[in-house]
Structure 1
Amino acid sequence: MSQPRRTSRRRAWAVLTLPVLVCVLASCSASPAAGPATGRGADNAAPAQGTAAPSASPTPTGPPGTLFDNFHYSGADDPSLAAHGWQVRTDGGTPGIKDTWSPAGAGFPSDTTAQGGRVLQLRATTDGTKQGTKQTEVLSTGTAFLTGTFAARIYLGDEPTSGKGGDHIVQSFSAISPDDTSANYSELDYEYMANGGWGSVGPQLDTTSWFKSDPPDRVTHAVKQHLKGWHVMVITAVNGKATYSMDGKELFTSSGKYVPREKMDIHFSDWFIDLPFTGGPRNWDMKVNWFYYKAGEAVSPADVQKTVDGFYGAGTDYVNTVPKS
């Protein structure tokens, strides 16, 4: 069952990036290849000599209506992260443990299991107390996501990276309206709960399409199986239907009023439903390898991967030709 939705969730997050001088830095939309971590260098390091400097604004190169990002950033304070339309959430509010959103869990480490060798890592930490809890979310800004194809390669965890297991953790990939109270509220979710929550026994992956946040009005489908590891998650929202597929297999389709009606933001989130036990500190890691969006078109999972492979083969870390919000 899908969770009761977010309350008091407005898009007023602080931007955790350094000031950026627009239109003075060179483009990094097509960096030269530099080993597994294409075009960005080692963890938390400055770009290697000869590598293009971070772009101050999205450079319109590549197919029209396309966004691709493989998250080759040096850290949460990399100026190109904000220039490319991403924020690390630092405000209060829900979902999960209220007022525990922190930038501390967002990083961009090397990962030999990832395509291109680098990931966006979101770490949720807790010791079972609110004071010892930090949740992590990275969300998009400035790009209009409405109809089309949304895809991401995501690593889901069944147990913590360190510490005792059993937390009611949610690892999610979502497109969500900027305002919960909007008359045209829209939301499309993948949410994985390795240990369940809200009375449900995990593991469980919910795919959910929303018509209204409060009171909740949505349709949902649950897959009850362990999903530890990498998965390509795709949503196509076209022609009055929203279809969810994972690793090329169709899971669920919503239609009627349960389709996008207004522009949405993209959210990658790692958070706790509640704090069921103390038991000492533990870390839960979710990873995002890449994100791809094609406006207004249904792209098959096979063609999504083919397109992504093409970007990696060309040494392209980032491209955005989607119209601004």
Structure 2
Amino acid sequence: MITLPTLLCALVACNGDPADSGDSGAKGASAAKASPTPTGPPGTLFDTFKYSGPDDPALAAHGWQVRDGGGGPGVKDTWTTAGAAFLEDQSAQGGRALQLRSSTDGTKQGTKQVEVQSTGTNLFHGTFAARIYFSDKPSSGRTGDHVVQTFFPISSSDDSANYSELDFEYLPNGGWGSPGPKLDTTSWFKADPPDRVTRATKQRLEGWHTVVITATEGKAAYSLDGKELFTSTGKYVARENVDIHFSNWFIDLMPSVGGPRSWDMKVNWFYYKADQVLSPAEVQQTVDGFYGAGTDYVNTLPKS
């Protein structure tokens, strides 16, 4: 008799994507060391972010880096690797999550922003999904900051002729003159000068949520926990390969809030399926299959 775990493991090894099994069911936290990459048809990227820290060689080997250095957005030149941590978290599927902690005391010198991004990934059309914990209040200190908790595929260069950016941005306290809480979904055609279309969903989102973007030749669609929020068409679609970014940053400095404060955003997992439009239910079924098989990392994308 073939048991369910045996069947799942066999499917991962043979097909590289357990969604085809039609099975679901999460498993407890697996070993911190990432599983071997399954073989099979190209087109899947999956990661549960089970790393020891920003300097873990496996993080770079799997195509991720923690930003450190200058530039925007937000409070420029305040990016640091110190805010990224890979922690046990019993509220997360599998018991672990990536934590992005940004902090400020209202001064530039006392501000630290954090971003984790992929590097040189061969992602274009298909389904992008992540399970993210959005925070409505700081983990320490007083509330009031215009903090932005984000997940977005984006071109590697702002100057690209085929610039592409598809954003989820959660602003618990609002920003840019608009009150919060709100979740902005935005499709870009050009970064400078800004050319974009956007929609705000007025909703408080403290807790875990699954966000999905499907990108095709003429459409970009955004959903939250299985509910479609926004669709863009025409020129506001993905037009070239993109990298993935998760970031937690401040729009501006607010010394009036008073004292030091920290804001947390967490990422449970990321999943991408090339050239296929999957429903949120199909995404979760696939992810559950990976967890059930004890698989922490999959990359069957074609080489760039």
- Give the TM-score normalised by structure 2: 0.89
**Alpha-carbon shift at residue 277 of structure 1 (Å):** 2.3
Work out which of the residue numbers 248, 252, 267 in structure 2 matches 1:288.
267
Question: For the residues of structure 1 that align with 2:41 and 2:227, how far apart are their CA atoms?
Answer: 26
Letter in 2 for 1:109: L
Among all aligned residue pairs of Structure 1 and Structure 2, give the percentage whose two residues are the same amino acid: 72
* SS in structure 2 of the partner of residue 109 of structure 1: strand
Q: Which runs of 5+ in 2 are unaligned?
A: 1-15, 17-26
Cα shift readout 1:160-180 (whole Å, capped 9, x = no counterpart)? 001000100000000110110
Question: For the residues of structure 2 that align with 1:256 and 1:91, how far apart are their CA atoms?
Answer: 35
**Alpha-carbon shift at residue 273 of structure 1 (Å):** 0.1
Q: RMSD value over aligned CA atoms?
A: 1.6
Letter in 1 for 2:31: G
- Give the TM-score normalised by structure 1: 0.83
Work out which of the residue numbers 139, 143, 148 in structure 2 matches 1:170.
148
1:94 corresponds in structure 2 to 72
**Alpha-carbon shift at residue 61 of structure 1 (Å):** 2.4
**Alpha-carbon shift at residue 62 of structure 1 (Å):** 4.8
Question: For the residues of structure 1 that align with 2:203 and 2:214, how far apart are their CA atoms?
Answer: 23
**Alpha-carbon shift at residue 38 of structure 1 (Å):** 1.0
1:7 corresponds in structure 2 to none
Cα shift readout 1:199-258 (whole Å, capped 9, x = no counterpart)? 011111000000000000000010011111100000001241100001000000001100
* SS in structure 1 of the partner of residue 59 of structure 2: helix
Number of equivalenced pairs: 279
Letter in 2 for 1:121: Q
Question: For the residues of structure 2 that align with 1:197 and 1:61, how far apart are their CA atoms?
Answer: 45
Establish whether residue 139 from structure 1 lines up as the match of residue 120 from structure 2: no
Question: For the residues of structure 1 that align with 2:109 and 2:303, how far apart are their CA atoms?
Answer: 38
**Alpha-carbon shift at residue 143 of structure 1 (Å):** 1.6
Do the aligned partners of residues 62 and 311 (structure 1) sit closer, same or farther apart at CA in structure 2, a change above 3 Å counting?
Answer: farther
* SS in structure 1 of the partner of residue 138 of structure 2: coil
Establish whether residue 39 from structure 1 lines up as the match of residue 31 from structure 2: yes
Letter in 2 for 1:291: F
Establish whether residue 228 from structure 1 lines up as the match of residue 206 from structure 2: yes
* SS in structure 2 of the partner of residue 211 of structure 1: strand
Letter in 2 for 1:128: G
Work out which of the residue numbers 121, 127, 131 in structure 2 matches 1:153.
131
* SS in structure 2 of the partner of residue 184 of structure 1: coil
Q: Which runs of 5+ in 1 are unaligned?
A: 1-28, 30-34, 41-46, 48-53
1:16-95 matched pairs, under 5 angstroms: 36-40=28-32, 59=37, 61-95=39-73
Greater RCO, CA 8 A, separation 6+: 2
Work out which of the residue numbers 211, 215, 221 in structure 2 matches 1:243.
221
Question: 8 Å contact 1:142–1:324 — kept in the other structure?
Answer: no
Question: 8 Å contact 1:36–1:118 — kept in the other structure?
Answer: no
